[in-house]
Structure 1
Amino acid sequence: MLHELSIRDFAIIEQVHLTFSEGFHILTGETGAGKSILFDALSLIVGGRGSADFVRHGAKKAEVEALFELAAGHPAIKELEVLGLTQDDGSLLIRREILQSGKSTCRMNGQLVTLAMLRQVGEVLLDIHGQHEHQSLMRTEEHLVWLDAYGGPFLAAELEKYKQSFQEYQDITKELAKINRDEKEIAQRIDLLTFQRDEIAAARLQVGEDEELNQEQSRLANAEHLTHSSASAFELLYGEEQGGERINRAARDLEEIVSFDDSLKDVLELVQSAYFQVEEAARQLGRYRDELEFDPMRLSEVDERLTVIEQLKRKYGDTVEEIILHGEAVAKELEGLEHRDETKQELSERQASILTELGEQAPLLTQLRKEAATSLEHRVEGELMDLNMKGTHIKVAFHEDVGGEQEIQFTATGADDVEFLIAPNPGEPPRPLAKIASGGELSRIMLALKTIFSDLDGINTLIFDEIDTGVSGRAAQAIAEKIARLGKNRQVLCVTHLPQVACMADIHFSISKESKEGKTRTRVKMLTEDGRVMELARMLGGVEVTETTRTHAIEMIRLAEQTKEGM
């Protein structure tokens, strides 16, 4: 669960530090006070995209830090292990920093991570429901995603198998289209590839030969100078009365000294060693001098070979190795084009085989989805009954239910078009959710789905940002009780404007905004019992708190406690 949240220089928040516990947390305050900004900060913690707009005016960077306590078996622990990240005693500290430039950094337990890695872990840490997320119910393309998520691991495994088959089918289809393109274009391509292959093959390149040739070219081009210099060096080292002989004479003198005074024994050994080294250097230098010769014909051959290599480099790669690899790739493509009829036959046979597989896999997916749909319908209707929508029927309709029998058309997710239908009143036929559901109904349907999926995905921290939009009266009370029930078994954070929801909280935070010295700041504080009464009274009566609204607030809290005790 989320244990602590620290925010600094984020939007209009200068600095906030909050501590959370288990149960149902409420955040209330006037419109514009910054309630939803807290949820923007939490979105960053689980991988939301950063923006320079998040940095408080005048600050260098925005900082958001969250500490999570992970119980044994929490799905986030497995994700951390997959990513090779450490976690200390069931704790996970996530930190995001956003600079004025918009660049952001992410850290988990002090280790730098990518945004993709953060999202991978964040998906199992928090389930955030924003103010407008219930609009996803209006997009029919999202309905299949909801259904598949409900279908469980067996359906997920079958869907993954289908996706792999479909991807292979798509790849083969593209390859066949490539083979079947204009014959004139293919012939031109064969001519080009043949020329490239033959040109590279004719060169008979060897990896590293250009370096050896460059060295040989330098030696041949400067043979006269090298001969003169090596002869001079040899004479200085080995000639009479030159370096070697002088060292040898010094050694003989030292031998005589050491015979009387061995304190110079080490000096004698150094000089003797130097003599032997000079002798060896002179022998090698002599061989080098004797082997040097000016060969104009060989120099011309080397120059021509290097010219060929440079021409190939300009066409096919920066190094000899790259040229060779290009030649191998060209030869492979050329072989495929020259044997395209056989390749086409093999691909066509495989395409037909995969099409048969898809024809078996897609109906199985449909069957599994229909079984899941029946179960989901009953679950949603049961949840809606708790949310004061008794008698409402939900139908998960498949394409044949909507448009009649159709020829099966395979897509990346199967052969199913799915749409959620609703009949708000008994006796009415189900109709598209997007057309007839009100905002309040959509909010309650989304809450029903969130309640169901919270039992399936293992995420034990749920966050709702004004999920009660568009509801009032008994519907608001029903939503309040539903969220309070969720808070019995998991951690729930909820922004609300409704006193019916606020009074059910276990922990109540008040968010306010103040302007001072030309700066606007957001303040957050945990309310005491008296503070809760005053905040509820404000929500009931507006700016002015009267004795009547205060009494009403006390009564609401008392009744809420009784309701929670009976859950």
Structure 2
Amino acid sequence: MLTELSIKDFAIIDELTITFNEGLTVLTGETGAGKSIIIDALELLTGGRGSVEFVRYGADKAALEGLFIIDNKNHSIFSKGEEFGIEIDDGMIVLQRTITSGGKSICRVNGKLVTLAILKEFGKVLIDIHSQHETQSLMDVERHIELLDLYNIKEIEHVKADFLKYYHKLNAIRKRYRKLSEDEQEMAQRLDLLEFQLNELQEANLIPNEDVQLMEEREKLVNFEKIFHGLQDAYDALYGEQKGLDWLSLALNGLETASEYDEQLKERKEAFSNHYYLIEEQMFELRNYLDNLEFDSERLNLIEARLNEINRLKKKYGSTVEEMMEYSSHIEEEIDQIKNRDTHLQKLKNEIEDIGKDVLLEAKHLHDLRKKAALSLIDDIHEELNSLYLEKAAFDVSIEINKSSKSDLEFDGKQVQLSSNGFDTVKFLISTNPGEPLKEMNKVASGGELSRIMLALKKIFAKHQGVTSVIFDEVDTGVSGRVAQAIAEKIYGISFGSQVLCITHLPQVASIADTHLLIEKQVSNKRTKTTVQPLSKEDRAVELGRMITGTELTETSKEHARELIKLADKIKNNK
């Protein structure tokens, strides 16, 4: 869940820190007080597009910071951390974003600098923001197949993974087939180039790890004098009269004499003796190494020449000898394919047919699972719509197979077009009035109906998406009366599985909240700023009364507000 949000020099907010709790939190206040600015800050913090216009007038930069605490050890945020090399200790994630007045955007996750794209990857598994605009996005047909798969993720996930494995393999083989099917002249030119490259690499007689070994040998020859003098100094310090080993020998003799009269010194004498003989052995080895040390200028010239040749080839064929040898093997195989093109084309064609059967089998499995999931989803959506007083609405899921006359794959005797989702197109259809045909939702529903449909969908999908915080920005616009009460209960129901933050103008929604924050705009030193204040039970009654009357606060409106809170408490206790 989102635990704390800090905002500094952002729009009309000079400096603000908000602590959030679990459950449903509502944010209310007069129009223009800054409620939506807080949501804007959260959007930017989770990877939304920024602008210098967000930087408070006169400030150098706007700074946003959010602390999230994740208790679920299986949450996808941990795999995101592993994917991008970001440590997540004790389930704590801190997102930071700075937008300078010059237009630069600096993003961090747990203190590590990241790109905006990576920040967005983290943001989308932590927060799900729904506004009136986002409601339209939820109606986007392109997203419907994703939502249907999400609804039955347990069954579909593994089948989709198997499908994608074959799908990507099929595309890779098709690409090789198209490349090999190019015209004769282009193939002949390609063959000449490959044969030249192969001949150049084979004449080089490359040996694995050769460049590394030659560099090491070159380093020794180039620094021959330093090595020689260093070894000579070491040897001279040990060997000879009044030198290191001579003094160590005197020390050993002294310990041997003393240990004859003191039992406690025998162990120390033995240890010293072992070290003495080890040093003596090292001295003899140094002498042998020095005797065999020889500078070979011709060998150095040969190494330099060979390294120059290898470096020349690296510019063309790979950054290491291993990469160049691998490339040599690859082009040798491609030469064979071009010279025996007809044979290889037939082989690839057979592979395409074989893998195509596997792809279609998995696509059919996905198709069947989606049809099964659709039946269950239709029942669940109808149940949710009924509770939102859309009992006369009809909801359906259309699953059609994509057909294409240009496809080389056939299913049930018809050519089908594959995508990364299989061969299905999924559309959510609805009719809000009896007798009206089912149509795409955004072509049928009014503003108030869209809000309720979106909430019905959100109630179903929230538990499957795995986000920690769901944010609603005035999605209850255009409704009132019993529908407003139903929406309030629906939003509260979503808070059972996720933390919910909701900007609202409906007293019914505000009354059912676990936490109520009042957003106000104040003028100080001729500058406007936004403040956030948690409300007590009595303060909530005052704010709800204001929301009910919209003008002058009366005792009647306050009493009505108290009744709303009591009703909300009763509903919450029953749930």
Normalised by the size of structure 1, how large is the TM-score?
A: 0.76
Residue 331 of structure 1 and its aligned partner are, at CA, apart by 3.1
Residue 509 of structure 1 and its aligned partner are, at CA, apart by 0.7
Residue 373 of structure 1 and its aligned partner are, at CA, apart by 0.4
1:417 and 2:417 matched: no
Equivalent pair of 1:210/1:320 in contact (CA under 8 Å): no
Q: Which runs of 5+ in 1 are unaligned?
A: 219-247, 252-275
Give the aligned partner of residue 528 of structure 1: 536
Deviations 1:203-234 (A, max 9, x none): 5466459979999x99xxxxxxxxxxxxxxxx
**Aligned counterparts, 1:2-81, within 5 A:** 2-48=2-48, 52-57=52-57, 58-68=59-69, 70=71, 75=75, 79=79
Q: Give the stretch that moved more between structures: 204-213 or 419-428.
A: 204-213
- Name the amino acid aligned to 1:26: V
Match among 441, 445, 448 for residue 440 of structure 1: 448
**d(CA) in 2 for partners of 1:78, 1:301:** 53
Give the aligned partner of residue 524 of structure 2: 516
Equivalent pair of 1:5/1:67 in contact (CA under 8 Å): no
Give the aligned partner of residue 392 of structure 2: 391
- Name the amino acid aligned to 1:102: K
Give the aligned partner of residue 185 of structure 1: 186
**d(CA) in 1 for partners of 2:570, 2:301:** 103
Give the aligned partner of residue 229 of structure 1: none
Give the aligned partner of residue 258 of structure 1: none
Change (3 A) 1:495 1:328: same
Secondary structure of the structure 1 residue equivalent to 2:530: strand
Change (3 A) 1:288 1:462: closer
Change (3 A) 1:523 1:302: closer
Residue 393 of structure 1 and its aligned partner are, at CA, apart by 1.3
Change (3 A) 1:66 1:496: same
Residue 485 of structure 1 and its aligned partner are, at CA, apart by 3.2
Residue 193 of structure 1 and its aligned partner are, at CA, apart by 1.7
Equivalent pair of 2:45/2:64 in contact (CA under 8 Å): no
Equivalent pair of 2:45/2:97 in contact (CA under 8 Å): no
- Name the amino acid aligned to 1:17: T
Deviations 1:386-408 (A, max 9, x none): 111112110101227999x9643
Give the aligned partner of residue 381 of structure 1: 382
Match among 486, 489, 492 for residue 500 of structure 2: 492
Equivalent pair of 2:107/2:119 in contact (CA under 8 Å): no
**d(CA) in 1 for partners of 2:105, 2:318:** 36
Equivalent pair of 2:28/2:504 in contact (CA under 8 Å): yes
Residue 106 of structure 1 and its aligned partner are, at CA, apart by 2.0
Tell me the C-alpha RMSD between the 2 structures: 4.5
**Aligned counterparts, 1:68-147, within 5 A:** 68=69, 70=71, 75=75, 79=79, 82=82, 85-88=87-90, 91-100=91-100, 101-108=103-110, 122-147=123-148
**What is the percentage of aligned positions where both structures have the same residue?**
41
Give the aligned partner of residue 267 of structure 2: none
Secondary structure of the structure 1 residue equivalent to 2:464: coil
Equivalent pair of 1:176/1:344 in contact (CA under 8 Å): yes
Residue 361 of structure 1 and its aligned partner are, at CA, apart by 1.9
Secondary structure of the structure 2 residue equivalent to 1:33: coil
- Name the amino acid aligned to 1:63: L
Give the aligned partner of residue 233 of structure 1: none
Match among 473, 478, 485 for residue 481 of structure 2: 473
**d(CA) in 1 for partners of 2:7, 2:569:** 32
Q: Give the stretch that moved more between structures: 124-133 or 190-199.
A: 124-133
Equivalent pair of 1:464/1:494 in contact (CA under 8 Å): yes
**Aligned counterparts, 1:245-394, within 5 A:** 327-394=328-395
The count of aligned residue pairs is 513
1:431 and 2:439 matched: yes
Secondary structure of the structure 2 residue equivalent to 1:96: strand
Deviations 1:154-196 (A, max 9, x none): 1121122112211111111111100001111000111122123
Secondary structure of the structure 1 residue equivalent to 2:368: helix
Change (3 A) 1:176 1:25: same
Residue 12 of structure 1 and its aligned partner are, at CA, apart by 2.5
Equivalent pair of 1:25/1:508 in contact (CA under 8 Å): yes
Equivalent pair of 1:56/1:62 in contact (CA under 8 Å): no
**d(CA) in 1 for partners of 2:200, 2:501:** 70
Secondary structure of the structure 2 residue equivalent to 1:452: helix
Deviations 1:395-452 (A, max 9, x none): 101227999x964332221111111111212343322222111122121111111111
Equivalent pair of 2:6/2:66 in contact (CA under 8 Å): yes
1:463 and 2:471 matched: yes
**d(CA) in 1 for partners of 2:7, 2:304:** 69
Deviations 1:296-337 (A, max 9, x none): xx9999999899778767766788787666545543432332
Deviations 1:316-374 (A, max 9, x none): 67887876665455434323322333322221111001111123222221111111001
Equivalent pair of 1:28/1:35 in contact (CA under 8 Å): yes
- Name the amino acid aligned to 1:7: I
**d(CA) in 2 for partners of 1:561, 1:288:** 93
Change (3 A) 1:366 1:324: closer
Residue 524 of structure 1 and its aligned partner are, at CA, apart by 0.8
**d(CA) in 2 for partners of 1:369, 1:442:** 24
**d(CA) in 2 for partners of 1:406, 1:315:** 47
Equivalent pair of 1:130/1:467 in contact (CA under 8 Å): yes
**d(CA) in 1 for partners of 2:302, 2:78:** 64
Deviations 1:509-555 (A, max 9, x none): 11122333343311111122332233223323335434554444344
- Name the amino acid aligned to 2:5: L
Change (3 A) 1:320 1:163: closer
**d(CA) in 2 for partners of 1:303, 1:117:** 45
**Aligned counterparts, 1:199-278, within 5 A:** 199-204=200-205, 207-208=210-211
Secondary structure of the structure 2 residue equivalent to 1:132: helix
Equivalent pair of 1:76/1:121 in contact (CA under 8 Å): no
**d(CA) in 2 for partners of 1:380, 1:509:** 31
- Name the amino acid aligned to 1:24: L
Equivalent pair of 1:41/1:64 in contact (CA under 8 Å): no
Give the aligned partner of residue 514 of structure 2: 506
Give the aligned partner of residue 169 of structure 2: 168
Residue 563 of structure 1 and its aligned partner are, at CA, apart by 3.7
Change (3 A) 1:186 1:560: same
Residue 4 of structure 1 and its aligned partner are, at CA, apart by 2.9
Q: Give the structure with higher Rg (CA).
A: 1
1:453 and 2:493 matched: no
Secondary structure of the structure 1 residue equivalent to 2:33: coil
1:538 and 2:537 matched: no
Secondary structure of the structure 2 residue equivalent to 1:539: helix
Change (3 A) 1:211 1:505: closer
Give the aligned partner of residue 262 of structure 1: none
**d(CA) in 1 for partners of 2:394, 2:54:** 43
**d(CA) in 1 for partners of 2:563, 2:459:** 28
- Name the amino acid aligned to 1:470: G
Q: Which runs of 5+ in 2 are unaligned?
A: 223-239, 244-282, 405-412
Change (3 A) 1:378 1:325: closer
Secondary structure of the structure 2 residue equivalent to 1:390: coil
- Name the amino acid aligned to 1:413: N
**d(CA) in 1 for partners of 2:356, 2:324:** 40
Residue 465 of structure 1 and its aligned partner are, at CA, apart by 1.5
- Name the amino acid aligned to 1:394: F
Residue 31 of structure 1 and its aligned partner are, at CA, apart by 2.3
Residue 149 of structure 1 and its aligned partner are, at CA, apart by 0.7
**d(CA) in 1 for partners of 2:61, 2:363:** 54
Equivalent pair of 1:80/1:86 in contact (CA under 8 Å): no
Secondary structure of the structure 1 residue equivalent to 2:108: strand
